[in-house]
Structure 1
Amino acid sequence: MWSSEDDAELRREAMQWLAVRTNDGLESLRYDEIAEFRFRGEAFPLMDRQRGIRKPAVLDSALSIRTIWRAEGKPRPYDDDLGSDGLVRYKWRGDDPDHPENRALRAASAQQQPLIWFWGVGPAQYMPIFPVFLIGEEAEQQQFVVATDGLQHLRPTDSPIEEVLRRYLRTESIRRVHQPVFRSMVMRAYENQCAVCSLKHPVLLDAAHIVEDRHELGVAAIRNGLALCKIHHAAYDAGILGVTPDSEVRIREDILVEVDGPLLEHGIKALHGLKLRVVPRARNERPDRDLLDLHYQRFIAG
């Protein structure tokens, strides 16, 4: 086994490398790109192709966990999701608590080791979320409790602020885990292009919710997303730009008669009546008509 210093150096270098390769969490990586990581001059796998839990032989605890991608409507073999306390859960490997991979996770929890969570956003494509910590185990549900950096010691209590804390944890968990995953799925589906203007610079693109995630229909699924450049995302959220259920762009009437510079003229007003320029190739990933209509009715109402 390596020393604790070796272990810490590996995790630190792996996360620094991932931060650079993902543009500080903006971009997902393919499996073959993740496999390019090297430690001390040699290839060092950060993720196993066949296993969800990566525990290198030289370490005494897990290094990474993985949630595989499934197309919408197809269930994942393990149901990793938010708990009622706002913290994320990660399922055991199988139902044997003494499975070596479960023991590796238990060791990471006991040592409070930072882990990398590779969350599938497409075929062989992953969004790395890091660092995450295992802060508890729920044996009856066969799962570990996962917290993101800075939240691992914040636990719901019986105090009057428990509900506030729970909402805070949920918000932070969504921000640190689900939002980057949602963004990566939407960017993949739209091939890193704005649906409205086809701008192709990921740093200038957002994954916009058609129906906001706090709405009961606001699922973090590709069919509830649009890849939009920052200008058109802001215009969409502000009710300046709308999209019909038939994927046609509409511009608010008062904006159409406004006189301003070339950005308004060519970047906003000229879009009125045009179809979305970019939509996902897969039919089940295209914008949901009912969700588009819900947002469009609000646009019409002003």
Structure 2
Amino acid sequence: MLELAADLALRQEIMTALASRTAESGGFLTRAELSSFSVGGQTRRLIDSSKGIWNPRDLNATLSIVSSPDGPYDDRDVEGGLFRYDYRAGTVQGDNTKLRRAMQLQLPLILLRKFETGAYIPIFPVYVVDDDATRQQFVVAVDEALRFIGARGELSEVERRYAETITRHRLHQAMFRGMVLHAYEVKCAVCRLRHGDLLDAAHITADSEETGLAVVTNGLSLCKIHHAAYDRNLMGISPNYEVKINQGLLEEIDGPMLKHGLQEMHGTHLMVPSDFRERPDRDRLQARFDVFLAC
């Protein structure tokens, strides 16, 4: 087993490589990629072959945990911005021992959020900050900034709102981006650009609105220029999936980016997911298109 300093250094190296890889991939990785992940010229497993808790033999504590919406455990976000992760069933020891050890040593680990068969969104680093033996759950901070803001049940109102804001950004937005880009096969729906690190998941109904849910049908995979144009109503998308460019912008004369990146997109049709259940909601598009037309 590695010395503690070497263990921490390896985790940091893994997470640096993971950050680079997820930026390229659109925020999600397959089980095959996680099972054979290249780091430092070596291949390492980042997910257990069958269980939710991955405890590599050479590490002092758990490296990753899987949370699945269709799994047998009641893993969920909780009020206050922290995440609860159920013990592995059947014992308080076993695989739970090394996860408890991660809390004691304050070692960072990876939360893998499964969103469909064989596809996961890595959230990292996360930290186990409490062990609720009564409910047989670990309490996990999904951001380093949340590790020390208060013990369970002792957050002030300001701390609670702060924690929930960070968790929403770290957990929910990462899930939204990964699911949307996966649905659009990591391509811009307008120009078909395929570079994941240049793509965003854009909301149709803004997430600041009550109905602005982080669901695929409320999202569009857009490159950064088309995301900015959409947010500023310089580009609109009709409920028939037709791309429209602001008239004033169509009349401008500028460089090749304006011509090829925006003006030539006018009248083209959006690329949509092959799965009908993941296609943009037409009612949301209509409401947003009405705003574009009024500008």
* TM superposition score normalised by structure 2: 0.85
Shift of 1:284: 1.0
> Given the alignment, which residue of 276, 282, 296 partners 2:289?
296
2:84 maps to: 89
Gaps of 5+ in 1: none
Is 1:21 matched up with 2:21? yes
- The secondary structure found in structure 1 opposite 2:147 is coil
Q: How does 1:91-240 map to 2 (within 5 A)?
A: 91-94=86-89, 96=90, 98-139=92-133, 142-147=136-141, 148-155=143-150, 162-240=156-234
Q: Deviations over 1:198-247 (max 9, x none)?
A: 11222221111112222222222211111111111001000111112221
Q: What is the rounded CA distance, in whole Å, between the counterparts of 2:176 and 2:44 in structure 1?
A: 28
Q: Decide whether aligned partners of structure 1 residues 7 and 275 sit closer, same or farther in structure 2, where only a CA change above 3 A counts.
A: same
- Deviation at residue 121 of structure 1 after TM alignment: 4.2
User: Over aligned residues, Cα RMSD in angstroms?
Assistant: 3.0
> Aligned equivalents of 2:151 and 2:203: distance in 1?
29
2:180 corresponds to which letter in structure 1? V
Q: Distance in 1 between matches of 2:24 and 2:159?
A: 27
Aligned pairs, how many?
Answer: 294
Partner of 1:135, secondary structure, is strand
| Equivalent-residue separation in structure 1 for 2:25 and 2:123 (angstroms) | 8
Q: What is the CA-CA distance between 1:2 and the residue it aligns to?
A: 4.8
CA distance in 1, matches of 2:249, 2:285: 21
Measured in 1, the distance between the counterparts of 2:115 and 2:22 equals 14
- CA distance in 1 between counterparts of 2:222 and 2:39 reads 37
Say whether 1:274 aligns with 2:274: no
Identity, % of aligned positions: 43
1:53 Cα deviation from its structure 2 partner = 0.9
The correspondence of residues 12-91 of structure 1 with structure 2, limited to 5 A, is 12-23=12-23, 27-37=27-37, 44-59=44-59, 61-68=61-68, 75-91=70-86
1:246 has 2:240 as partner: yes
**TM-score (structure 1 length as normaliser):** 0.83
Indicate how the Cα distance of structure 1 residues 251 and 110 shifts in structure 2: closer, same or farther if over 3 A, else same.
same
Q: Does the CA contact (< 8 Å) of 2:26 and 2:197 recur in 1?
A: yes
Asked if the contact 2:92–2:136 (Cα under 8 Å) also holds between the matched residues in 1, the reply is: no
Question: Which shifted more, 34-43 or 211-220?
Answer: 34-43
Q: 1:97 to 1:291 in 2, by over 3 A?
A: farther
CA distance in 2, matches of 1:10, 1:192: 29
1:169-189 Cα distance to aligned partner (Å, 9 max, x none)? 222223323322322222221
Q: Deviations over 1:15-41 (max 9, x none)?
A: 233234334895432222222247898
Q: Is the 8 A contact 2:205 2:212 kept in 1?
A: yes
How far does the alpha carbon of each residue in 1:99-144 deviate from its partner, in whole angstroms, 9 at most, with x for none? 5233332232232221111222443222222211011234565432
